[in-house]
Structure 1
Amino acid sequence: MTTDSSSPQRAYRAACPNCGAPVDFRSAASAFAVCSFCRSTLVRDGEALRKIGESAELFDDHSPLQLGVTGVAQGEGFALVGRLQYRYGQGTWNEWHALFDNGRSGWLSEDNGAYVLAFDQALAEAVPAPEKLIVGQALTVGARRWHIASVTAARLIAAQGELPFKPNLERGFVVADLRAAGDEVGTLDYADPARPLWSVGRPVRLDDLKLVGLAEGGGGAGGGTEKTLRASSLSCPSCGAALEVRLSTTQSIVCHQCHAVVDVSKGVGADLAHYAQDNGSEPLIPLGTVGRLALGGKNPLPWQVVGYVERCEVPDDAEDDEQSLWREYLLYHRTAGFAFLVDAEDGWSWAVPITGVPEGQGRTVKYQGRTYRQMYRYRGEITYVLGEFYWHLERRQRTDNIDYTSGTHRLNREETREGDTHEVVWSAGAVLPADAVRRAFKLPDEQAAAMERDVAPTSSSGSWLAKLFLWGFIIAVILMLFRCGRDDDCNDQLQRYGQASQEYQSCLANNRSSGRTGGSSYGGFSSGGSHK
Structure 2
Amino acid sequence: MSQQASTQRRWSAACPNCGATVEFASAASAGAVCSFCRSSLLREGSALRKIGLSAELLADYSPLQLGSSGRFAGAPFSIVGRLQLSYSGGSWNEWHALFDSGDANRSAWLSEDNGQFVLSFDAPLSEPVPQSHELVLGDLLVLVGQSWRISALTLARVQAAQGELARPPNLQAEFLVAELRNAQDEVGSLDFSDGEQAQWSLGRPVRFEDLAMHGLREGKDAAIAAKTLACPSCGAALTPRLANSKSISCGQCHAVVDISQGVGTDLAFYAQQNGLAPQIPLGAVGKLALSAGSAASAALPWQVVGYQERCDLPAAGSDDEQTFWREYLLFNQLEGFAFLVDTEEGWSLVRPLTGSPQGSGDKVDWQGQSFKKRWTYAAKVTYVLGEFYWQVKREQRALVSDYEARSGKAGALLSREQAGDEITWSFGRKLDASEVVKAFKLDGTQGAALTRDASSLSSTGGSTRWVRNLALAMFALFFLLMLVKSCGGGGDDCQAYKDSYGEASAEYAQCKRSGGPRIYPGGGSYSGGSYGGSGSGGGGGGHK
TM-score interval for Structure 1 and Structure 2 normalised by the shorter chain: 0.7 to 0.9
The structural deviation recorded for 1:218 is: 5.2
Indicate if the aligned counterparts of 2:151 and 2:180 stay in contact, CA closer than 8 A: yes
The structural deviation recorded for 1:369 is: 0.9
Of 517, 523, 529 in structure 1, the residue corresponding to residue 530 of structure 2 is 523
Deviations 1:40-83 (A, max 9, x none): 32334444545443221211212112222222223322221111
Of 229, 254, 261 in structure 2, the residue corresponding to residue 266 of structure 1 is 261
Counterparts in 2 of 1:458 and 1:145: CA distance versus 1, 3 Å: closer
Q: Does 1:414 align with 2:422?
A: no
Deviating more after overlay: 77-86 vs 236-245: 236-245
Indicate if the aligned counterparts of 1:4 and 1:12 stay in contact, CA closer than 8 A: no
* Normalised TM-score (structure 2): 0.84
Of 238, 252, 257 in structure 1, the residue corresponding to residue 252 of structure 2 is 257
Q: Does 1:435 align with 2:434?
A: yes
The structural deviation recorded for 1:482 is: 4.0
The structural deviation recorded for 1:173 is: 0.5
The structural deviation recorded for 1:22 is: 4.8
- Distance in 2 between residues matched to 1:350 and 1:240, nearest whole Å: 36
What letter matches 1:213 in structure 2? G
- Distance in 2 between residues matched to 1:81 and 1:97, nearest whole Å: 6
The structural deviation recorded for 1:465 is: 6.2
Q: Which residue of 1 aligns with 2:513?
A: none
Is the partner of 1:481 in helix, strand or coil?
Answer: helix
Indicate if the aligned counterparts of 1:293 and 1:440 stay in contact, CA closer than 8 A: yes
Within 5 Å, give how 1:71-90 maps onto structure 2.
71-90=70-89
What letter matches 2:128 in structure 1? A
Deviating more after overlay: 62-71 vs 281-290: 62-71
What letter matches 1:157 in structure 2? Q
Q: Does 1:248 align with 2:243?
A: yes
- Distance in 1 between residues matched to 2:140 and 2:5, nearest whole Å: 48
- Distance in 2 between residues matched to 1:10 and 1:463, nearest whole Å: 77
If asked which structure has higher relative contact order (CA below 8 Å, sep 6+), I would say 2
Within 5 Å, give how 1:178-189 maps onto structure 2.
178-189=180-191
Counterparts in 2 of 1:301 and 1:9: CA distance versus 1, 3 Å: farther
Indicate if the aligned counterparts of 1:447 and 1:469 stay in contact, CA closer than 8 A: no
Which sections of structure 1, spanning at least 5 residues, go unmatched?
220-225, 490-517
The structural deviation recorded for 1:131 is: 1.7
The structural deviation recorded for 1:96 is: 1.0
Deviating more after overlay: 255-264 vs 51-60: 51-60
Q: Does 1:157 align with 2:159?
A: yes
The structural deviation recorded for 1:279 is: 1.4
- Distance in 2 between residues matched to 1:356 and 1:234, nearest whole Å: 35
The structural deviation recorded for 1:441 is: 1.8
Of 122, 147, 159 in structure 2, the residue corresponding to residue 120 of structure 1 is 122
- Distance in 1 between residues matched to 2:344 and 2:219, nearest whole Å: 39
What letter matches 2:480 in structure 1? V
Is the partner of 2:94 in helix, strand or coil?
Answer: strand
Work out the number of aligned pairs and report it: 491
- Distance in 2 between residues matched to 1:332 and 1:38, nearest whole Å: 39
The structural deviation recorded for 1:264 is: 2.2
Deviations 1:121-151 (A, max 9, x none): 1122222222221111111222321111111
Counterparts in 2 of 1:284 and 1:184: CA distance versus 1, 3 Å: same
Is the partner of 1:5 in helix, strand or coil?
Answer: helix
Q: Does 1:192 align with 2:194?
A: yes
- Distance in 1 between residues matched to 2:226 and 2:15, nearest whole Å: 32
Indicate if the aligned counterparts of 2:455 and 2:469 stay in contact, CA closer than 8 A: no
- Distance in 2 between residues matched to 1:346 and 1:317, nearest whole Å: 24
Is the partner of 1:181 in helix, strand or coil?
Answer: coil
Deviating more after overlay: 388-397 vs 349-358: 388-397
Q: Which residue of 1 aligns with 2:514?
A: none
Counterparts in 2 of 1:250 and 1:216: CA distance versus 1, 3 Å: closer
Indicate if the aligned counterparts of 2:132 and 2:196 stay in contact, CA closer than 8 A: no
Q: CA RMSD in A?
A: 2.5
- Distance in 1 between residues matched to 2:379 and 2:239, nearest whole Å: 29
Deviations 1:375-416 (A, max 9, x none): 221111111111111212222211111111122110001111
Counterparts in 2 of 1:335 and 1:49: CA distance versus 1, 3 Å: farther
Deviations 1:402-442 (A, max 9, x none): 1111221100011112xxxx111110000122122122222
- Distance in 2 between residues matched to 1:115 and 1:9, nearest whole Å: 30
Percent of paired sites with the same residue: 51
Counterparts in 2 of 1:35 and 1:277: CA distance versus 1, 3 Å: same
Counterparts in 2 of 1:341 and 1:211: CA distance versus 1, 3 Å: same
Q: Does 1:480 align with 2:483?
A: yes
The structural deviation recorded for 1:274 is: 2.0
Which sections of structure 2, spanning at least 5 residues, go unmatched?
493-524
Q: Which residue of 2 aligns with 1:287?
A: 282
Within 5 Å, give how 1:57-76 maps onto structure 2.
57-76=56-75
Indicate if the aligned counterparts of 1:151 and 1:175 stay in contact, CA closer than 8 A: yes
- Distance in 2 between residues matched to 1:458 and 1:46, nearest whole Å: 76
Q: Which residue of 1 aligns with 2:444?
A: 445
- Distance in 2 between residues matched to 1:147 and 1:386, nearest whole Å: 33
Within 5 Å, give how 1:344-423 maps onto structure 2.
344-406=343-405, 407-417=410-420, 422-423=421-422
Counterparts in 2 of 1:86 and 1:326: CA distance versus 1, 3 Å: same
Q: Which residue of 2 aligns with 1:238?
A: 233
Counterparts in 2 of 1:477 and 1:37: CA distance versus 1, 3 Å: farther
Is the partner of 2:168 in helix, strand or coil?
Answer: coil
- Distance in 2 between residues matched to 1:336 and 1:521, nearest whole Å: 28
What letter matches 2:419 in structure 1? T
